[in-house]
Amino acid sequence: MSNVDPHSSASPSPAVRAPEAARRTSVPAPETPWNAPEPTGPLDALVEIPGSKSLSNRYLVLAALGSTPIELDGLLRSRDTDLMIGALTALGVRCSTVDGSDTHMLVTPPDGGRFAGRCRIDCGLAGTVMRFVPALALFADGPVSFDGDDQARSRPMRPILDGLEQLGAGIEYHGDHGFLPFTVTPPDALPRERADVTIDSSQSSQFISGLLLAGSRLPHGMSLTHNGGTLPSTPHIRMTMQDVASAGGHVTMPTPGQWILDHADLRLPDAVVIEPDLSNAAPFLGAALIAGGRVRIPRWPAATTQPGGLLPAILIRMGATVTFDGRPWNGSGDADGSDVSTAAGGAGMIGVTGPADGIIRGLGRFDLSAAGELAPSVAALAALADSETDLVGIAHLRGHETNRLAALVEQLTAIGCGARELDDGVSIRPVPRGTLHAAAMRTYHDHRMATFAAMIGLAVPGTRIEDIATTSKTLPDFPNMWTRMLG
């Protein structure tokens, strides 16, 4: 059996680890605020981060599009990945655990590659489910209906559905045009030549990724063009391109905003090992800057397509010291597109130590368009910094689980920090820590707003967080992991 393992180095026994059954961990009910724990001194913690949600859900889709069973090891088990597994199961894909481990799964595509239609997909609040799975309906034997949480009905969907219509699918909206709920009816016949598809993906890179993941199955491939404004989170698109290539597909980007995808019979290696989720590492590594001391995370890839690969360089700029296997960080893990191979450099132990003088540096004007999902964690650090920070290039965050820009401004203002929305970001004007005051911080059903609030709680005693359980979306055991990190 072949094996792709981007985490070749052995990791020590973790002090803070998310158990396989973490999504069942007891946390306060949504109506019971969680008292954010406070540090008792400088940190000295080893934190093991579960698998990447972005990679987990991409590999699940690619495994389903293949023709043979594929093992996925290190799979994240959270609400988002469970929703993806549920969606694929409804389409006739068999997903079973291996050796009793719910993070090790065997994915078996449907016989003949034909997905089961006449089913309903529950998207929850998972953007990867609502934007990746509709393209699979092109290859179903009947209509597929999609719906999700009430909050999901406000998330934009039209670009991916416009693309499917251009490929011959029928789209029936059951509510507001361009939003959930809707039904996709597969075309009577797939395009008889290379398909030309043009969409505006300026609200989310997931629209491009959703078409790229499935496009190899088109008989003559596809030419895909983005015709809107700035394309956000391009590392996520590079991640998709690399993942498609790892499954035997061939996708190129001849010019910015255009992709050419050839027809291919997709097949991942027999076994794939999934990287830890680097964006989920941000609150833990950032905690070292707030509380002082050091936080280490094993299995950090030396090179990665995850946008979270940009995090070490950001933390260095904010005053941290970063090491990789004990050596000074050289930036090789940045997801800047220069190296999209997750296997080339193996993996090692990343360590982040807070500023020696205890002062977090502001970033000034900082373009975070390549890694917008880091914005809440970076905003928490910026609120405790010595100077102003303007995070720009992240207008698309208004269309995430909540309007993250408005949410960040509201919650920063609630604790006494200066903040306002910009056209494409958020401006943060920190005040001395001693003048900040505790608040009951809202999460808006958004996992990253919950972890943002926990970071604030390290510096503002008495912070309470409403609905900490929303972290189950991508990091099921977060409350216990956070508490154990503090010792």
d(CA 274, CA 337): 19
- Is residue 319 a contact partner of residue 359, using CB atoms and an 8 Å limit? yes
Tell which residue, 370, 365, 369, 412, has the closest CA to residue 387.
365
Closest residue by Cα to residue 216 from 258, 259, 167, 262: 262
In contact, 348 and 8? CB cutoff 8 Å = no
Q: Which tokens sit at 366?
A: 């900082």
The encoded tokens of residue 331 equal 């930036």
DSSP 237: H
Which helix or strand (DSSP H or E) is residue 206 part of? Answer: helix 206-215
The answer, yes or no, to whether the previous bond of 12 is cis (omega within 30 of 0) is no
What would the 3-class secondary structure string for 4-25 be? ECCCCCCCCCCCEECCCCHHHC
Torsion sign, CA atoms 243, 93, 132, 478: negative
Q: How many CB atoms lie within 10 A of CB 415?
A: 21
**In angstroms, rounded to a whole number, what is the distance separating the alpha carbons of residues 204 and 236?**
10
Residue 432's contacts (CB-CB under 8 Å, 6 or more residues apart) are none
288 secondary structure, DSSP code: H
DSSP string for residues in 22-44: GGG-----TTS-EE----SSSEE
Catalytic residue status for 421:
no
Rounded CA-CA distance 231/45 in Å is: 37
Indicate the SS3 state at residue 479.
Answer: helix
Asked if residues 118 and 143 have their Cβ atoms less than 8 Å apart, the reply is yes
Task: Choose, from 71, 275, 373, 401, the residue flagged as catalytic.
Answer: 373
- The CA-based angle 371-372-373, given to 5 degrees, is 90
Question: How far apart are the C-alpha atoms of 257 and 203, rounded to whole Å?
Answer: 14
For residue 179 the two structure tokens come to 């939003």
Indicate the DSSP class of residue 230: P
Rounded to whole angstroms, the Cα distance separating 352 from 321 reads: 6
Kindly list the catalytic residues.
373
